[in-house]
Amino acid sequence: MRTRIIVAGMAGIVVLALAGCNPQGGATDGAQTDGAAVEAPEAVQIIVPADPGGGWDQTGRAISDVLTAEDLVGTASVSNVGGAGGTVGLAALANERDPNTLMVTGLVMVGAVETNSAEVRMEDTTPIARLTEEPLVVVVPASSEYETLEDLIDDVVENGQDVTITGGSAGGADHILAGLLLEAAGLDGGDIAEKLNYIPNAGGGEAVSLLLGNNAAAGISGVGEFSQYVDSGDLRALAVSSEEPAALLPEAPTMVDEGFDVVYTNWRGLLAPGDISDEEAQALVDLVTELHTSAGWQSTLEERGWADAFLVGEEFSSFLEENIGEVQTTLKNIGLVQ
CATH match of 135-264 with 3.40.50.1980? no
Amino acid at residue number 83: G
Please tell me whether residue 259 adopts helix, strand or coil conformation: coil
CATH number for the domain running over 15-32+41-132+268-333: 3.40.190.150
Residue spans per domain, the chain: 15-32+41-132+268-333, 135-264
Taking the whole predicted model, whether its pTM rises above 0.75 is answered as yes
Contact predicate 76/108, CB 8 Å = no
Q: Measuring CA to CA, which residue among 236, 244, 243 is closest to residue 262?
A: 243
Phi, psi of 316 (to 5 degrees): -70, -40
- Residue 7 CA: distances (Å) to CA of 78, 97, 193, 220: 31, 35, 20, 16
- 15-32+41-132+268-333 matches 135-264 in fold: yes
Contact predicate 305/224, CB 8 Å = yes
3-state helix, strand, coil in the chain (%, to 5): 40, 25, 35
CA dihedral (12, 15, 19, 22) positive or negative: positive
Tell me what pLDDT residue 313 has: 86
Q: How does pLDDT run along the chain (338 residues), one tens digit per residue?
A: 343 344 444 343 333 334 344 434 444 343 444 456 778 799 999 999 999 988 899 999 999 999 999 999 999 999 999 999 999 999 999 999 999 999 999 999 999 999 999 999 999 999 999 999 999 999 999 999 999 999 999 999 999 999 999 998 888 899 999 999 999 999 999 999 999 999 998 767 889 999 999 999 999 999 999 999 999 999 999 999 999 999 999 999 999 999 998 999 999 999 999 999 999 999 999 999 999 999 999 999 999 989 999 999 899 999 999 999 999 999 999 999 98
Tell me what pLDDT residue 88 has: 97
Count of helix runs (H) and strand runs (E) in the chain: 11, 11
What's the rounded Cα separation, in Å, for the pair 254 and 250?
Answer: 10
